[in-house]
Amino acid sequence: MSEPLKITIPDIGDFESVDVIEVLVAPGGAVQAEDPLITLESDKATMDVPSPAAGCITEVMVAVGDKVSQGSLVVLLDPTEMDVTDLATVEAIPQAQPTQTVATPAIETAPQPALSPAGSETIAQPPVQPMAPPDTLPPPLEDGGELPHASPAVRRFARELGVDLSQISGNGARGRILQDDVRQFVKATLTRPTSNSEPTGDSGIPPMPEIDFSRWGPIDSKPISRIQRLSGRYLHRAWLNIPHVTHHDDVDITELESFRQSLKHDKAHSGTRITILSFLMRAVVSALKAYPTFNASLSPDGESLILKQYFHIGVAVDTDNGLVVPVVRDVDSKGIVQLAEELAEISARARDGKLKLDEMQGGCMSISSLGGIGGTAFTPIVNAPEVAILGVTRSRMTPVWNATEFQPRLMLPLDLSYDHRVIDGAQAARFMAFLSAALKDARRLLL
CA distance 395 to 409: 10
Is the separation of the CB atoms in 156 and 139 below 8 Å?
no
Is the separation of the CB atoms in 308 and 295 below 8 Å?
yes
Q: Which amino acid is at 377?
A: A
Three-state secondary-structure class, residue 212: coil
CA 12 to chain centre: 12
Please give the pLDDT value at position 266. Answer: 74
Please give the pLDDT value at position 119. Answer: 39
**How many percent of the chain have pLDDT more than 70?**
78
Report residue 142's pLDDT band, with 50, 70 and 90 as the boundaries: very low
- Apex 291 CA angle, 286 and 295, nearest 5: 85
**Does 311 have pLDDT greater than 80?**
yes
Q: Which amino acid is at 200?
A: T
Q: Where is average pLDDT lowest: 146-150, 208-212, 246-250, 402-406?
A: 146-150
Is the separation of the CB atoms in 256 and 263 below 8 Å?
no
Of residues 183, 150, 181, the one with CA closest to residue 168: 181
Sign of the C-alpha dihedral computed for residues 195, 201, 204 and 210 taken in this order: negative
281 φ, ψ to 5°? -60, -45
CA distance 316 to 363: 11
Mean pLDDT of 63-77: 89
**How many percent of the chain have pLDDT more than 90?**
36
Please give the pLDDT value at position 426. Answer: 96
Is the separation of the CB atoms in 331 and 285 below 8 Å?
yes
Distances (CA, A) of 384 to 137, 246, 333, 358, 364: 42, 15, 25, 16, 10
Taking only the tens place, the pLDDT of each residue in 319-373 is: 888 888 999 999 999 999 899 999 999 999 998 888 888 898 999 999 999 988 8
Cβ atoms within 10 Å of 114's Cβ, excluding its own: 20
**Does 167 have pLDDT greater than 50?**
yes
DSSP state of 95: P
Is the separation of the CB atoms in 68 and 40 below 8 Å?
yes
Taking only the tens place, the pLDDT of each residue in 93-133 is: 444 444 343 343 333 444 444 434 443 433 343 444 444 44
The catalytic site residues sit at: 420
Q: Which residue would you say has higher pLDDT here, 140 or 2?
A: 2
Burial of 296: CB neighbours in 10 Å, binned 0-12, 13-18, 19+: buried
Q: What residues are paired with 249 via a beta bridge?
A: 414
CA distance 119 to 129: 19
**Does 389 have pLDDT greater than 60?**
yes
Mean pLDDT of 11-27: 82
Report residue 229's pLDDT band, with 50, 70 and 90 as the boundaries: confident
For the chain, what is the mean pLDDT? 80
Q: What residues contact 176, with CB distance under 8 A and at least 6 apart?
A: 21, 64, 65, 149, 150, 151, 170
Mean pLDDT of 248-272: 84
Domains (range + CATH), the chain: 1-131 (2.40.50.100), 141-207 (4.10.320.10), 228-446 (3.30.559.10)
Q: Where is average pLDDT lowest: 147-161, 232-246, 322-336?
A: 147-161
Q: Which residue would you say has higher pLDDT here, 357 or 291?
A: 291
